[in-house]
């Protein structure tokens, strides 16, 4: 009970509060409402003093209950504890209240101690007690409390059962959560939404959608759970479709809804949809433009290629937290605007906002995209030296990426070997990618063999090794790797590019013929080929990692997914309109060269987001400076 006694030493009345006379006090039946509606702890202390002075706390024990809850809601849990400990023979309601207060503050151990103390005094818990203690309770103690609900015959209570489902769902025991849910004789909106959250958190969006579609009543919370489930598990199109259905059902979104929807827009580069959501936020007074919403807008605009809009939103935020600063720094980094990222980082530190490990991931990536090796080392070393932040695997990954892109592969390899923490397959894959980029076959083979021997190899390992061999013309090596890939069921991820036109996302694979406008797209491609050849373009057939003839290599280059998306953009938008493309893989050397030429010939700005960064093509040049 040490924790309980330590928390109970705070005096309630260190200085006498201004007096309140009995004349000022409402009738006892109205006092509870006055207490619950108090807006400050100072006001509450004055009321408490008056009640204490006139002995009303003993005459009206229910007022203790309301005072205790009110102090906790105003972040004075210490006052709640002192009040509880000064109460003689607290009843089940006071115990439930103090348990609830600690659970609300995520102080589960203390809540459990009060629960144990209550049982020791032979006070029988009720449904509200269990609902309070199970709130946000970890799985292990939650299982013990579950047995108590059965012992006291309250496990079938709707609210208790809902809380139990939530405990198992949060703890990752989906089968137990499902079993409890299936055996509920009565369900309400809260219990169904709890199970819905369980499915979405575990990634079973199909089961979640089945449950969602069967719900007779849906509030904004369950819509949010389903929309966010799609967004978090890489199904942004489904999230946007569901959001439109929500609006059609005349249900009003809130801040949580728009944050999820903006994230979905950012994932697929749906700028037009993102702008519409931004406009919706501005025109609906029910949605607060708080720092979370602003950060979601910054992130969306950055990922959709409109860095200018991201900065406009950033500058509008009055009280920026570190998350908002991080979002803008990361935005500059992925666009290759390293100078702006570094300037913002220095400004942030200059005004006393302390960087986090996310800040350093953003700023180190900014250095990687510009080849700023010395600056990257300085920042990496400053993490511990100046900010006492221990580098994580992600920070080492940023440094390996920075060194690898700059051609300092041996230095990157030494960094990985001498790390304080165990390198993972992602880090080794980054180094292997650098070997591919710079044709370092020897080290690439060494790394790949190590990953295979340690069971750390993934599909990317085999693909990168195959690419290293192909780049060197070692077709026997390519054949061996591809046979191995086939044997273990590894498949290469196909290149896919998307473009948003008139609020609709159009996706293309290499050589795609499924689009309704395929005929017009390929006619445009022929025209483009004529334009670029007249400019002296020569296909980069050396990047085709297949043992085929030159003509076939040229043809395979012509129908890459990003070229199809650009051709569609040219025939579907007005002259002068910026074309924005999202590519799931790194843009190839040939497509990069062709896109520069197209931007010059058509006078169009083309913005392409690939797996690594943004490329802004204007008048025959790219913002990356051909370093990506």
What DSSP string describes 25-70? S--HHHHHHHHHT--SHHHHHHHHHHHHHTTHHHH-HHHHHHHHHH
Q: Evaluate if residue 1 carries a pLDDT over 50.
A: no
Q: Between vectors from CA 295 to CA 292 and to CA 301, what angle results, nearest 5°?
A: 140
**Considering only 60-69, 181-190, 283-292, 313-322, which range has the smallest mean pLDDT?**
60-69
How many residues can be counted in the chain?
A: 628
**Considering only 226-235, 322-331, 483-492, 591-600, which range has the smallest mean pLDDT?**
483-492
The model's confidence at residue 26, banded by pLDDT at 50, 70 and 90, is low
- Cα–Cα nearest to 616, from 405, 404, 302: 302
The model's confidence at residue 5, banded by pLDDT at 50, 70 and 90, is very low
Q: What is the 3-state secondary structure (H, E, C) of 259-271?
A: HHHHHHHHHHCCH
Question: 496: which strand partners?
Answer: 509
Q: What is the pLDDT of residues 39-76, one digit of tens each?
A: 888 888 888 887 777 776 666 778 888 888 898 889 89
Contact 83, 64 (CB under 8 A): yes
**Considering only 249-253, 381-385, 424-428, which range has the smallest mean pLDDT?**
424-428
Contact 354, 383 (CB under 8 A): no
Q: What is the pLDDT of residues 344-391, one digit of tens each?
A: 999 999 999 999 999 999 999 999 999 999 999 999 999 999 999 999
Question: 437: which strand partners?
Answer: none
Mean pLDDT in residue range 322-332: 97
Q: Evaluate if residue 31 carries a pLDDT over 60.
A: yes
Q: Evaluate if residue 421 carries a pLDDT over 50.
A: yes
Instruction: State the pLDDT at residue 4.
Output: 47
Mean pLDDT in residue range 224-233: 97
Give the percent of the chain with pLDDT over 70.
93
Class of residue 452 by CB neighbours under 10 A (exposed 0-12, middle 13-18, buried 19+): middle
Lateral strand order in the sheet of 579-583? 504-509, 496-501, 579-583, 606-609, 614-618, 621-622
Q: Evaluate if residue 8 carries a pLDDT over 70.
A: no
d(CA 564, CA 554): 15
Contact 264, 244 (CB under 8 A): no
Instruction: State the pLDDT at residue 474.
Output: 82
Q: Taking each helix axis as running N to C, give the angle between helix 61-73 and helix 77-85, from 0 to 180 degrees, rounded to the nearest 10.
A: 160
Instruction: State the pLDDT at residue 543.
Output: 63
pTM for the structure as a whole = 0.81
Q: What is the DSSP letter of 19?
A: P
Q: What is the pLDDT of residues 568-625, one digit of tens each?
A: 999 999 999 999 999 998 898 899 999 999 999 999 999 999 998 999 999 999 999 8
The model's confidence at residue 29, banded by pLDDT at 50, 70 and 90, is low
Instruction: State the pLDDT at residue 102.
Output: 93
Class of residue 254 by CB neighbours under 10 A (exposed 0-12, middle 13-18, buried 19+): middle
Q: Between vectors from CA 470 to CA 469 and to CA 476, what angle results, nearest 5°?
A: 65
Instruction: State the pLDDT at residue 577.
Output: 94
Q: What is the pLDDT of residues 97-153, one digit of tens each?
A: 999 999 999 999 999 999 999 999 999 999 999 999 998 799 999 999 999 999 999
For the chain, give every domain's residue range: 218-301, 497-622
Contact 266, 300 (CB under 8 A): yes
Instruction: State the pLDDT at residue 211.
Output: 95
Mean pLDDT in residue range 200-207: 93
Contact 597, 620 (CB under 8 A): yes
Contact 363, 377 (CB under 8 A): no
- Residues near 28 by beta carbon (within 8 Å), at least 6 away in sequence: 56, 59, 60, 63
Instruction: State the pLDDT at residue 89.
Output: 87
Which range among 20-29, 431-440, 480-489 has the greatest average pLDDT? 431-440
d(CA 386, CA 392): 16
- Residues near 104 by beta carbon (within 8 Å), at least 6 away in sequence: 72, 135
**Considering only 24-38, 146-160, 257-271, which range has the smallest mean pLDDT?**
24-38
Instruction: State the pLDDT at residue 6.
Output: 39
Q: Evaluate if residue 401 carries a pLDDT over 90.
A: yes
Give the three-state DSSP class for 609: strand
Instruction: State the pLDDT at residue 547.
Output: 55
Instruction: State the pLDDT at residue 175.
Output: 93
How much is the mean pLDDT over the chain?
89
**Considering only 191-205, 263-277, 388-402, 464-478, which range has the smallest mean pLDDT?**
464-478
Instruction: State the pLDDT at residue 545.
Output: 58
Instruction: State the pLDDT at residue 2.
Output: 43
Mean pLDDT in residue range 509-518: 93
The model's confidence at residue 12, banded by pLDDT at 50, 70 and 90, is low
Left, alpha or beta for 218 (phi > 0: left; psi -120 to 50: alpha)?
beta
Q: Measured between alpha carbons, how far is residue 155 from residues 127, 180, 232, 286 in Å?
A: 9, 10, 33, 38
Q: What is the DSSP letter of 173?
A: -
Q: Evaluate if residue 253 carries a pLDDT over 80.
A: yes
Contact 334, 350 (CB under 8 A): no
């Amino acid at each position: 009970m040490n924790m309980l006694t330590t928390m109970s030493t705070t005096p309630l009345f260190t200085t006498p509060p201004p007096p309140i006379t009995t004349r000022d006090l409402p009738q006892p039946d109205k006092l509870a409402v006055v207490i619950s509606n108090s807006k400050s702890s100072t006001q509450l202390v004055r009321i408490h003093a008056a009640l204490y002075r006139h002995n009303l706390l003993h005459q009206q024990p229910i007022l203790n209950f309301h005072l205790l809850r009110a102090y906790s809601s105003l972040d004075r849990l210490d006052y709640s504890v002192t009040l509880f400990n000064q109460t003689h023979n607290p009843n089940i309601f006071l115990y439930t209240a103090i348990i609830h207060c600690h659970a609300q503050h995520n102080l589960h151990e203390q809540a459990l101690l009060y629960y144990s103390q209550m049982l020791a005094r032979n006070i029988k818990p009720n449904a509200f007690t269990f609902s309070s203690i199970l709130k946000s309770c970890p799985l292990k103690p939650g299982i013990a409390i579950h047995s108590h609900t059965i012992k006291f015959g309250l496990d079938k209570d709707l609210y208790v059962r809902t809380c139990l489902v939530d405990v198992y769902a949060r703890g990752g025991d989906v089968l137990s959560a499902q079993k409890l849910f299936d055996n509920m004789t009565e369900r309400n909106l809260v219990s169904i939404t709890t199970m819905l959250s369980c499915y979405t958190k575990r990634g079973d969006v199909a089961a979640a959608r089945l449950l969602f579609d069967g719900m007779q009543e849906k509030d904004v919370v369950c819509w949010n759970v389903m929309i966010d489930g799609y967004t978090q598990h890489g199904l942004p199109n489904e999230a946007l479709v569901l959001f439109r259905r929500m609006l059609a059902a005349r249900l009003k979104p809130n801040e949580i809804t728009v944050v999820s929807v903006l994230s979905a827009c950012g994932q697929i580069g749906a700028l037009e949809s993102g702008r519409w959501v931004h406009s919706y936020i501005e025109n609906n007074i029910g949605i607060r433009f708080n720092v979370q919403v602003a950060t979601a807008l910054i992130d969306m605009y950055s990922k959709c290629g409109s860095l200018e809009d991201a900065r406009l939103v950033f500058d509008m935020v009055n009280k920026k937290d570190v998350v908002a600063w991080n979002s803008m720094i990361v935005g500059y980094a992925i666009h290759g605007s390293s100078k702006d990222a570094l300037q913002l980082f220095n400004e942030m530190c200059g005004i006393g906002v302390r960087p986090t490990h996310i800040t350093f991931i953003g700023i180190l990536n900014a250095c990687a995209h510009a080849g700023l090796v010395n600056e990257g080392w300085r920042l990496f070393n400053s993490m511990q030296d100046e900010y006492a932040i221990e580098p994580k695997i992600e920070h080492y990954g940023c440094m390996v990426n920075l060194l690898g892109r700059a051609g300092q592969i041996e230095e990157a390899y030494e960094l990985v070997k001498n790390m304080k923490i165990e390198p993972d397959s992602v880090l080794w894959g980054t180094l292997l990618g650098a070997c591919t980029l710079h044709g370092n076959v020897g080290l690439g083979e060494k790394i790949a063999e190590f990953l295979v021997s340690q069971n750390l190899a993934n599909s990317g390992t085999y693909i990168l090794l195959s690419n290293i061999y192909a780049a060197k013309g070692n077709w026997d090596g390519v054949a061996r790797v591809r046979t191995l890939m086939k044997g273990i069921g590894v498949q290469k991820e196909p290149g896919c590019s998307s473009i948003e036109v008139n609020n609709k996302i159009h996706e293309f694979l290499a050589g795609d013929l499924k689009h309704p406008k395929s005929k017009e797209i390929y006619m445009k491609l022929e025209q483009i080929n004529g334009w670029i050849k007249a400019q002296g373009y020569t296909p980069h057939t050396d990047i085709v990692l297949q043992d085929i003839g030159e003509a076939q290599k040229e043809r395979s280059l012509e129908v890459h997914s990003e070229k199809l998306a650009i051709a569609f953009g040219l025939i579907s938008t007005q002259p002068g309109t910026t074309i924005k493309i999202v590519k799931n893989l790194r843009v190839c050397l040939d497509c990069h060269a062709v896109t520069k030429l197209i931007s010059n010939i058509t006078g169009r700005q083309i913005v392409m987001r690939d797996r690594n960064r943004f490329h802004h093509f204007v008048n025959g040049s790219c913002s990356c400076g051909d370093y990506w």
